[in-house]
Amino acid sequence: MTDSSVCGLYKQTDGSIRVEYRWHHSRPERMQLLVEDFDSVILTTPSWLIETNIRLEGFNDEVLPQSVIDAWKHAHWETSCKVYAPLCKRFLDRNPLPQILVTDSFVHDVYAYRYNDSYPDDCILLSYTWEDDATKLALFSDGELAEKCIKELDRILLRCSNIGVAISPYIDARNIRIQRWMTDRNALGCAKLYRAGTYYDAVSLMKYNRDLSSASGLYLAGESFSVDAGWTEPCLRTAIDAVINLCSRTSAHFHGGFDLAHYPHYQVR
């Protein structure tokens, strides 16, 4: 299931939504284009991927207004980059490396993680950057970036009076993993922000489930459709919102005397 990528949502004349997806997406030799019809669909993908990778057809302006599509299209997404490596357990056994180092160098932040003894290695996040600091690293290939980070950390640690040793001999440089959110085909960004002057456009995305989902069958949830992005809490809130509205549409029985009259409205002006 985690290797199936949705590439189309088509509103059908009987009201259902046809979901088109690539089964075994990452293995071209086994990949199949499949479709399935659903009464309701909850859309949770990063918003720039909706525009670039997913076809939406058959939703007229009454059930999916252009203003809603514009609001997710015009969102701003930040980037981030992380450089991970396995770290030989002997390094943390012998050296008082803090769990987090905040530096003024291009590696920015460094995190060390101590696994329990059943794991052969510990882990080090050699570099954790956001936004412009991550963009600065875009130029370097994974190999170059890994080498630069290790060299830089050696330079810093050799000058630390309480450490004074190089970390490079303890890093498994053959198994470095680099995660760059802006070029990750399943993300295209790490945190959604709204541009100046577009706060209410973003709020209109949160209103969508209540106002129009019963007509479209399409529910919006997750980071892409919240205003306080970069944290899981607003994603959870929109997920609960989608469920509440879906339950209401399908005449579910709410506990504790709750009904939608108790549920606050998002205000767009």
- Binding-site size for ligand FAD (CB under 6 A) equals 20
By beta-carbon proximity to ligand FAD, the closer residue of 65 and 230 is 230
> Is there binding between residue 222 and ligand FAD (CB under 6 A)?
yes
Q: Which stretch binds ligand FAD (CB under 6 A): 30-38, 156-164, 201-209, 231-239?
A: 231-239
> Is there binding between residue 217 and ligand FAD (CB under 6 A)?
no
Smallest distance, Å, CB 5 to ligand FAD?
A: 4
Secondary structure (3-state) at 183: helix
| Residues with Cβ within 8 Å of residue 167, at least 6 apart in sequence | 87, 91, 97, 124, 150, 153, 154, 157
Q: Which stretch binds ligand FAD (CB under 6 A): 38-46, 95-103, 116-124, 209-217?
A: 38-46
> Is there binding between residue 183 and ligand FAD (CB under 6 A)?
no
Residue 122 pairs with which residues in a beta bridge?
87
Task: Give me the residue label for tokens 């053959």.
Answer: 174
Secondary structure (3-state) at 5: strand
**Residue nearest to ligand FAD as judged by C-beta position:** 222
Residue 43 pairs with which residues in a beta bridge?
220
Rg (CA), the chain: 23
Residue 248 pairs with which residues in a beta bridge?
none
Secondary structure (3-state) at 37: strand
User: Interface residues with ligand FAD (CB under 6 A)?
Assistant: 5-6, 44-46, 49, 53-54, 80, 181, 186-187, 190-191, 222-223, 230-232, 235
